[in-house]
Amino acid sequence: MLYFSPDYCLVFLPLTLILFFVTRQNLGNAAAKLTLIAGSLIFYGLWNLSSIPVLLASIVVNLCIVDTLFRYQKHRRAALITGLLFNVSLLAFFKYANFAIENLNLLGLDIAPLELFLPLGISFFTFQKIALLVDVYKQRVPRPTTLNFALFVTFFPQLIAGPIVHHAEMMPQFDDPARRSFNISNFNTGIVLFCIGFIKKLLIADGMGIYANFGFSQTTIGPFDAWCTALSYTFQLYFDFSGFIDMGMGSAMMFNITLPQNFLSPYKSANIQEFWRRWHITLGRFLRDYIYIPLGGGHRRVYLNLMATFVIGGIWHGAAWTFVIWGLLHGTALCVHRAFQKARFRLPGPLGIILTFWFVVVGWVFFRATTVTEAWMVLKAMHDPHVWKSVLADPHAFIGSRRVLDAKWIPFAALCAVICFAFPNTSEIMSRYRPAYWHIPALGVGTAAAVIFAVYVNAPPPFLYFNF
């Protein structure tokens, strides 16, 4: 079930909202939580029923680990290590087993690949549970109840593609008396957020995706087409991911739940460190707090720790060498940035933004390509001086050979660039928004019409981060 599907917008979300608040008013908060857990499992199961046993088994095992952490003080460290190994092993089995087999076969072995499916959202809810186990071990959070733990993991607006939420920042909201009644202002704000995300995804991201998909499907590519392809994916991923975040945050807001900010105009960043403070903020927070800092070692090992952290971040996104290279690139860039900081060297703001954006575009080529060879083909066409020398020598031949770049792409890409670099982000827009009752029916009818039109006419693809 997709956020922009008629089933979600016109049936699942309204029905779940009604059941949640009616149950809360008549049967109490615990019954309302149970209703929301059931609804979240239905939402998750509609993707793939086989994923539900994996999710439930993970919840049960992690609950046992949490219970051990509180009950047996002498065995807390062993319990934490067991919990971490279980979660990492579960993720590794489903996501990386066949990748490992594929690489072992390159050494001359003949191991048959396993017939596995990838449970949707396993990368996100695995990191979320790891964070909770560590927080419980360090006594940062009180002992969660079974009901709260299950809702923390399954809450559908953040289950499939984040944000990676901390127990302490979400679950107290469900027990806050001020949030127990239906709030027309929050509902209004949620609809507006949802509509902003809807526009980003279906009107911009999917449009740019057509160019990106076509470009990456080519066996040969020219310099103009290579830049068109790379920039198309750069904008597609930006609007697809931020659109998903807006729709998820909007859905949660209708339940009076505020999810943590996860996306703040990252392409405006003047350096790579700032980029990671703006892009997928909760992932960056997790990598910093639960991998980079625990690696320790002081200043002598800081560069090695940065590299290790972002290689892990790259592998977390996908089981392919392209993601490893993407992680290495970002780890290297952060090391260079840190060395510049120590030398008190700082690029002027506009130049820093341009160089950071160029680097991010290069990184996204590896992120999107299916093979290293495919990524190198695109990057070589983008930067090879011999290719550009040929362009200058005979521009008409290269312009005439364009297959991806067309007259429509240029104004479309220009619009995307203006939105990314000049417009306020969703958080800034919503800080100025003042709900009005008349917005609700107008937005509701408009959203319903747009959903039906988009789905049945254009058949939009799922969100890109569902792949990770």
Residue written as token pair 């065995």: 75
DSSP3 helix / strand / coil % (the chain, rounded to 5): 75, 0, 25
Q: DSSP code of 162?
A: -
CA distance linking residue 280 with residue 286, whole number of Å: 10
Q: How far is CA 328 from CA 286, 305, 315, 354, 378, in A?
A: 18, 12, 10, 21, 19
DSSP character for 440? H
DSSP element (H, E) containing 5: none
Structure tokens at 295: 């690696």
Among 215, 155, 231, 163, CA closest to 414: 231
Quote the CA–CA distance of 112 and 108 in Å, as a whole number. Answer: 13
The letter for the amino acid at 349 is: G
Active site (catalytic) residues: 317
Both tokens of 224, joined, read 């103009």
In one-letter notation, the amino acid at residue 54 is V
Q: Which two tokens stand for residue 182?
A: 């239906």
DSSP string, 403-434: SS--TTHHHHHHHHHHHHHTS--HHHHHHH--
Q: How many residues make up the chain in this entry?
A: 468
Q: Residue 222: how many CB atoms within 10 A of its CB?
A: 22
d(CA 372, CA 211): 20
Q: Which two tokens stand for residue 211?
A: 């160019």
Residue keyed to tokens 């306020």 = 424
CB 255 within 8 A of CB 171: no
The three-state (H, E, C) secondary structure of 231-300, written as one string: HHHHHHHHHHHHHHHHHHHHHHHHCCCCCCCCECCHHHCCCHHHHHHHECHHHHHHHHHHHHHHHCCHHH
User: Does residue 435 have a cis peptide bond before it, meaning omega lies within 30 degrees of 0?
Assistant: no
- How much is the CA Rg of the chain, to the nearest whole Å? 23
Asked if residues 463 and 240 have their Cβ atoms less than 8 Å apart, the reply is yes
Phi-psi region of 28 (alpha: psi -120 to 50; beta: other; left: phi over 0): left
Q: Which of 45, 46, 47, 39 is nearest to 14 (CA)?
A: 39
